[in-house]
Amino acid sequence: MAQTLVTEPFPISRIANRYLIFDVNIISHIRREHNICGVLIGTIPNLSQQNVFLGIPMQLMPEETRLLVEHGHAYIVEDADAHKTGFMEMSREDRLAFLRQMDKQGVEMALDAKRRAADKQEKVLKEKGLERKIQEKNLRRTDITPNPATGETSVGPSDEKSLSDSMPPSPTVGSARGQKVAPYFITPTTSHPPLPTPPLSPAAELPKVPHTYPLFRHLQSKGYFSTPGLRFGCHYTAYPGDPLRFHSHFLATGLDWDEEFELLDIVGGGRLGTGVKKAYLIGGEDPEAKASGKEDGSDPVRAFSIEWAGL
């Protein structure tokens, strides 16, 4: 499957103050281009009895969202508002048009599934050496399968008819054509279409981020991927590359520049990190360097990694 190009800036949905992405192309895009991997929190259909592989939507940390917005890659959309106006007040014409479109897709999918089932059956029969049965099958199949051209023309009139009656299309439009396929119903993943791509609103405020944001930004600028780190008792687990391929290197904890902390935290973090083959990392932003660094472009964040030497 070819990658679909994503045009920047792309929308990020804000739902109840959480940041979510529903478009699979954007999910792949930010992984490749911006080393941001978010957290997949959704259930993959057909794989709904396991927690190892999760799917759409992807939840972004406020830090990740802010970084994408600050750099102009993305903008935030209030999804609840968009859906309230878009669907709750949808006009009858738009609704019928969208339903027809979904129905058409459903017929195509049903036909596709049928074709694949037939192919599979043919293959099995061939393996068993039952050529004669295939021929019988083929004879019957030519009766059923419409060639694409006639399929097209028969969609036309039925559409016309439902338009003139201003009735929604019947779900059994397939059987009316004598094809013996009932259209599948589809639950789309995103709401675009039928909703228009939401307009860019630069006035929207940036997401609120915790005081660990400078460390996150620093790691990200060095090419690290970060995921939420509560499971390892830190703020972020930092990966040297895509977590699909690499083990994480650091358990990163963000601190303020002059913040006092317990020496025992280093022992705890260091031991935990070493135990799971990672290094404990602390870092913070120097406010003075930040002020002066604006001119020379240097990074005001410093980070230290701590590892048990195991001597």
Partner 1 sequence: MADYDENLSHLRGPSAADIDLDDETQDFRFLSNLPTHDVKDLTLPKRGDKDFESHATSLQLSTLEASRQAMHNALSWPRIHTQKTHLLATYHPESNMAYVKKAKTQHFQTLGHFKAGKNWLLPEEALFMIERGSMDCRWPVQVEEGRTDIIVYDGQEENERGVPMSLQGAYAAFIGFEGGVGGKLTLEMYTVYAGLKRAGFIVFRAGDWDDERLPIQYNEQDARDGDKVKSGNWAFGFVAEIWRRLSRKETEVPADRLKCGPLLGSGLYRSYADIYRLLQVIPTRDRNAPPELILPPDCSNPFRITFDVYKTAGAGKFKKSTRGPPDYRIAVVNARETPVPTMAQLNDLLATTPYDPPNPNGNLYQKLRHGSRNVILAVVDNGIPSYIRVGDTPFTDEKLYKRLGRGPPRGKKSGRGRGRGRGG
List active site positions.
239, 247, 278
What mask, x for binding partner 1 by CB under 8 A, covers residues 37 to 56?
xxxxxxxxxxxxxxxxx-xx
- Min separation Cβ 294 and partner 1, Å: 29
Which one of 146, 151, 171, 293 is in contact with partner 1 (CB under 8 A)? 171
Q: How many CB atoms lie within 10 A of CB 35?
A: 18
Which one of 207, 214, 229, 269 is in contact with partner 1 (CB under 8 A)? 229
What is the arrangement of strands in the sheet containing 18-21, beginning at the earlier edge strand?
39-42, 55-60, 18-21, 10-15, 74-78
Q: Does 179 bind partner 1 (CB under 8 A)?
A: no
Helices 92-128 & 148-165, crossing angle to 10 degrees? 150
Q: Does 65 bind partner 1 (CB under 8 A)?
A: no
**Shorter beta-carbon distance to partner 1: residue 47 or 200:** 47
Q: Does 177 bind partner 1 (CB under 8 A)?
A: no
State how far the Cα of 75 lies from the Cα of 199, in Å rounded to an integer. 9
State how far the Cα of 145 lies from the Cα of 268, in Å rounded to an integer. 67
For residues 138-167, which are near partner 1 according to CB under 8 A? 167
What mask, x for binding partner 1 by CB under 8 A, covers residues 187 to 226?
xxxxx--x---------------x----------------
Please tell me whether the peptide bond between 194 and the residue prior to it is cis, using omega within 30 degrees of 0.
yes
- Min separation Cβ 241 and partner 1, Å: 5
Q: How many CB atoms lie within 10 A of CB 210?
A: 11
Evaluate whether 155 touches 104 at the Cβ level (below 8 Å): yes
39 CB-near residues (< 8 Å, 6+ apart):
58, 59, 60, 61, 227, 228
For residues 287-306, which are near partner 1 according to CB under 8 A? none
- Min separation Cβ 139 and partner 1, Å: 26
Q: Does 272 bind partner 1 (CB under 8 A)?
A: no
For residues 230-269, which are near partner 1 according to CB under 8 A? 230-231, 240-249
169 CB-near residues (< 8 Å, 6+ apart):
96, 99, 100, 103, 158, 159, 162
- Min separation Cβ 185 and partner 1, Å: 4
Which one of 8, 9, 24, 133 is in contact with partner 1 (CB under 8 A)? 24
**Shorter beta-carbon distance to partner 1: residue 176 or 291:** 176
